[in-house]
Every structure is written in C-alpha cells, then in structure tokens.
Amino acid sequence: MLTSRAWAQTWAALRLLAAAAGVAAIIGQLVRTLSRSAENGWPLGPTAIDFFSFFTILSNVGAAIALTIGAILIWRGTRVDPAWFASLLAAVSTYMLITGIVYNTLLRNIPLPQGSTVPWSNEILHVWAPLFLLLDVVLGPLRRRLPWRALWTVIAFPIVWVVYTLVRGPLITDFRTGTPWWYPYPFLNPNIQPWGYGGVALYVIGIAAGILVLAAGVIWVGRRRGADPAEASGRLSSAEAPGPAQ
C-alpha cells in the first residue's frame, strides 16, 4: 500500500495540510508576540529577530518548506526523492523530533509570561508537527536511501545555531526584563546554569548526541524503506505517476 499511487496522492495532501497547520501556528504565535511587544512599547524588529532565533520556530519553518516540496515532488511524478531533498527531509525530521523531545522533557513545565503563548499554536509546533514528521519517516512515499555520511549534513545546522545563539546571547539586552543578555532557552543561558558555560556545554553535548542518534534512526529507516539511489533518475510512467489530488 505504501508504494501505491493512491497512497502517494493521499500522503501528498496530508503533507500540505501539515505544512499549512505549521505555518498557521507560526503566524499565530508571531502575531501574538509582536502584539504583546507593541502593547508594551518594545521594539518590533528585535522582537521578530528573537522570535526566529528559537530552534522550534526554525525547525517548523524548515518542516513546512520540506513538506510542501515533498508534496509537489509526488504530484510531479518523481520516482524517488532527489538526493538534496532526501537530505533536507532527514534533517528537518530529526530537528522536529528533537524539538518535541526537548520541549516535552525540559521545557513544558517552565512558566511563561501570562498571555505570551498561543496554546493551540504551542501544541502544533511542539507536539503535533513533530508527531507528523515521525509518521512521515515511517509512512512517507518516495524515500531514498541516504549514505551514513548524511549524518554530518544533519548535524551542521544545529551546530551553526548553537554558535549563533551563544555568540549573540551576551551581546544583546533583553528589552523585556532589562537583563544584559538574551537566550531563547534557559539551558543555553550560562548566567543561570550552576556551572556556567560548563553546564551549557553538558546540555549541548547531550542534545547533540540525541540529534545524532535520532538522525541515525531516521537515516536507518530511510535505508530500510527507501529505493536505491540508482533508481532516482527515473520518473514514473504516465500510468503510474500520481497526478494532482482530486
């Protein structure tokens, strides 16, 4: 069933619905965040930069883009995911899974300022979107077998994001509280960690290990389910090709 035309069309539609839900959740939370800043007289530009500095938001943006591209590739009749897209999909799937795990184990019970979070958006971004990406790993069509070296492609963006976060953090002032630093997550803030940057390093190492394990799992499932890269150059015949959903 998972290789049939009907299933491919159905999954393409589900990918678009999931992407739309993710975009709606991002916009909903962004509007609330900007509105709150406007009400308090805080600068909107830095507010937006801070908003898009969260790994959760960046991961969901990437997921929405990847899911949309994946749906288009199905409807274009692609036989096997192109190598670039297979790498992108493996990466965003890993990021969304780590987002769901980290949020629900480390961050869910941390109190936030009253009225700062849109509840339905929060659940989509941290729970339902990661769950859909997990299902996409297991059920999505057109999977391509990636080489194990793709692990380094997956880990590249989180490394860049951590460096960006730790370099930017002490250089800006949190206009909401007046503290001379701002970090998107408390476990990355050396000013509140008992061991300072040592504590941050432990969290970073632990999360990096988790990302590598999850990425290995995503790639392993893809290698089990996917087609050999040699098949990727072909397209489905007109009789096989999944057309646009009716």
Contact at 8 Å (CB) between 144 and 229? Answer: yes
pTM, 2 dp: 0.88
- The token pair that represents 62 in the structure block: 């990437």
Q: Residue 214 pLDDT > 90, yes or no? A: yes
Give the model's pLDDT for residue 5: 80
Residue 92 near residue 59 (C-beta atoms within 8 A): yes
Number of structural domains (the chain) is: 1
For 38-154, list the strands marked E by DSSP: none
Helix (H) / strand (E) containing 86 = helix 83-102
Place of tokens 């971004």: 125
* More confident position, 28 or 226: 28
Residue 222 belongs to some domain of the structure: yes
The answer to whether residue 160 sits within a structural domain is yes
Residue 18's domain comprises 5-233
Examine residue 240 and state whether it is found in any structural domain, yes or no: no
Residue 239 lies in a domain: no
The SS3 call for residue 231 is helix
229: in domain:
yes
Whether 195 is covered by a domain: the verdict is yes
Q: Kindly state the greatest CA–CA separation across the chain.
A: 64
Decide if 206 is inside a domain: yes
Tens digits of residue pLDDT in 162-209 = 999 999 999 999 999 999 999 999 999 999 999 999 999 999 999 999
CA 212 → CA 34, 102, 123, 209, 220, distances in Å?
34, 14, 25, 5, 12
Residue 99 has pLDDT above 90, yes or no: yes
Does residue 160 carry a pLDDT above 90?
yes
Domain for residue 241, yes or no?
Answer: no
For residue 227, the model assigns a pLDDT of 73
